[in-house]
């Protein structure tokens, strides 16, 4: 997926991921001991992993000039899969908490 980006787009992706990591670090520090801190750590980890992903493909050759003539649906597909995984995890936690409230023993 990184190979489909130009060098300028890769640099912009690194800047966005750096800002995302800083925001995640801020959330983790501000919410230490709270759920906000856990979510901040998740955001920080996602930003760092994304930056490593972009860096690993940073020196790949530039895409062809006709790349904009084709529809590039990999980011949409990845977003949908990640959202489905997040929904399943969230629903599992919700059902587990509801069962704990209904049957406390």
Q: Which pLDDT tens digit goes with each residue over 58-82?
A: 888 888 877 777 777 778 889 999 9
Q: What is the pLDDT of residue 5?
A: 83
89 pLDDT more than 90 = yes
Tally of residues, the chain: 105
The reported pLDDT for the residue numbered 71 is 74
For residue 102, report the phi and psi dihedrals to the nearest 5 degrees: -75, -40
Calculate the alpha carbon distances from 13 to 17, 51, 55, 57, 102 in Å: 6, 8, 10, 12, 46
- Per residue in 20-71, pLDDT (tens digit) is 999 999 999 999 888 999 999 999 999 999 999 999 988 888 888 777 777 7
**Which residues are CB-contacts of 75 (< 8 A; sequence separation ≥ 6)?**
1
């Amino acid at each position: 997926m990184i190979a489909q980006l130009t060098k300028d787009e890769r640099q912009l992706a690194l800047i966005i991921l750096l800002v995302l990591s800083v925001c995640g670090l801020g959330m983790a520090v501000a919410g230490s001991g709270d759920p906000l801190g856990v979510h901040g750590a998740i955001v920080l980890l996602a930003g760092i992993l994304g930056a490593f992903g972009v860096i690993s493909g940073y020196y790949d050759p530039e895409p062809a000039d006709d790349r904009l003539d084709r529809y590039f649906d990999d980011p949409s597909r990845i977003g949908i899969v990640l959202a489905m995984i997040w929904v399943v995890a969230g629903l599992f936690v919700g059902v587990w908490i509801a069962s704990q409230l209904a049957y406390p023993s």
